[in-house]
Amino acid sequence: MRIEDKLFINRYQADKHSHIRIVDRGECLKCDFKPCTYMCPAKVYAWNETENRILTAYEGCLECGTCRYCCPPGIIDWRNPRGGYGIQYKFG
């Protein structure tokens, strides 16, 4: 059972542009635990070993906002997706 399978049950209207921006990727290199990669309930954040950067699968974002508070250097610029985009909870 993978998280993607569960996310597929959700309804999204994915925007073409990410609503999540990593402001300073240099801070990620210094960050020891990278809490974003395991605090996010939708596993939006993943650390890429070869590229040495955080990947953000913004399409699956549940818009809970946890990442903004869990990021120690506070470098996640998170905004709500544009009106009409993002997750669309049905019978939420």
Q: Which residues bind another protein (CB under 8 A)?
A: 1-2, 4-9, 12, 14, 16, 48, 50-51, 55-59
Q: Is 45:36 a contact under the CB 8 Å cutoff?
A: yes
Q: How far is the CB of 48 from another protein (least distance, A)?
A: 7
Q: How far is the CB of 4 from another protein (least distance, A)?
A: 4
Two tokens at 39?
A: 């605090």
- Phi/psi zone of residue 84: left (φ > 0), alpha (ψ -120 to 50 degrees), beta? left
Residues 90 and 52: their CA atoms lie apart, in Å, by: 37
Residue 12 or residue 78: which is nearer to another protein going by CB? 12
Residue 72 or residue 77: which is nearer to another protein going by CB? 77
Q: How far is the CB of 77 from another protein (least distance, A)?
A: 17
Residue 28 or residue 58: which is nearer to another protein going by CB? 58
Nearest CA among 8, 15, 12, 7 for reference residue 81:
15
